[in-house]
Amino acid sequence: MAKVSIIIPASNEIYLQRTITDLLTKATGEIEVIAVLDGYWPDKVLESDPRLIVAHRPKGGMRASINAGIDISTGKYLMKLDAHCSVAPGFDEALQADFRDHWLVIPRRYSMEMETGGIRFCKPIVDYEYLANPDSPRLNKSGKHLRGWKWDERTKARANRLIDETMTFQGSCWFVNKEEFMQRVGHLNDKAYGPFSCEAQEIGLQYWLGDGKCMVNKKTWYAHLWKGEGYRKKYFELYGKKYARTSPTQLKKSIAYSLDYWMNNRWEERRHDLEWLIKRFAPVPSW
């Protein structure tokens, strides 16, 4: 097994230490955890560990933080993880064991309980997502968006396939071979997309339309915290301001750029058009 570099972009993250501790405790192989502090210092100093690298940088956003983490990573594999997650025991070796060239892999996703960090078994697992038709008024009530949605029907129909193709993913966790990722995607494009949003579209579509694959590995998992009302209330109590991932104006710009770029097949290095991907997964809800 090879070394895995786990990049955690963080900005005023309440559960950053808990996420780091969970990674360090659950890993069974060689890892390094790179916490990229985007324009802030945690209220409490992060607990020291030889496997932890703390990188502080001026405020630049999620994409810039991921890029900074990639630049200092030393592992054969890269794993990006949100700062409010937990993972399965042995996640690092499980992801490597079934990995293949030209793949981007995501673990099975659970919903995480906010206070304990445990799995919310009352919520359904997420194994697959699909890209919704931007013209679907039901799925895009606030405006056109090439966004991912949970694909519950595919999750049920393909329950016995432990390693399988997924059309898209959430973006909170992904696992790749670093060398291939840098050749295929490289640094994330924060000039075009902005600091946040459409991460899975930018990365996932470069894999699929460039003759790679996005795969789900159900032999391992991670749990992700959805930042709902409870989290936002706690955030306001701690930091005295409302939680916001990015400005509404910047979010609209990112969505508009992604929509135009991929729907109109503007990626010059593509091997396939977006229509090819839709046909590959047909029938896709809303198309």
Residue 63 phi/psi, 5° resolution? -60, -45
Could you identify the residue written with the tokens 């409870």? 230
Domains and CATH numbers, the chain: 4-280 (3.90.550.10)
d(CA 203, CA 24): 26
134: cis peptide before it, omega within 30°? no
- Against a cut of 0.85, is the pTM above it? yes
d(CA 100, CA 38): 32
DSSP at 227: -
Q: What string of pLDDT tens digits covers the 287 residues of the chain?
A: 899 999 999 999 999 999 999 999 999 999 999 999 999 998 889 999 999 999 999 999 999 999 999 999 999 999 999 999 999 999 999 999 999 999 999 999 999 999 999 999 999 999 999 999 999 877 676 678 999 999 999 999 999 999 999 999 999 999 999 999 999 999 999 999 999 899 999 999 999 999 999 999 999 999 999 888 888 999 898 888 888 877 888 889 999 999 999 999 999 999 999 999 999 999 999 99
Q: What angle do CA 202, 57, 174 make, to 5 degrees?
A: 30
Q: Would you state the pLDDT for residue 141?
A: 66
Q: Would you state the pLDDT for residue 52?
A: 98
Asked if 8 and 16 touch (Cβ cutoff 8 Å), the reply is yes
Q: Would you state the pLDDT for residue 244?
A: 81
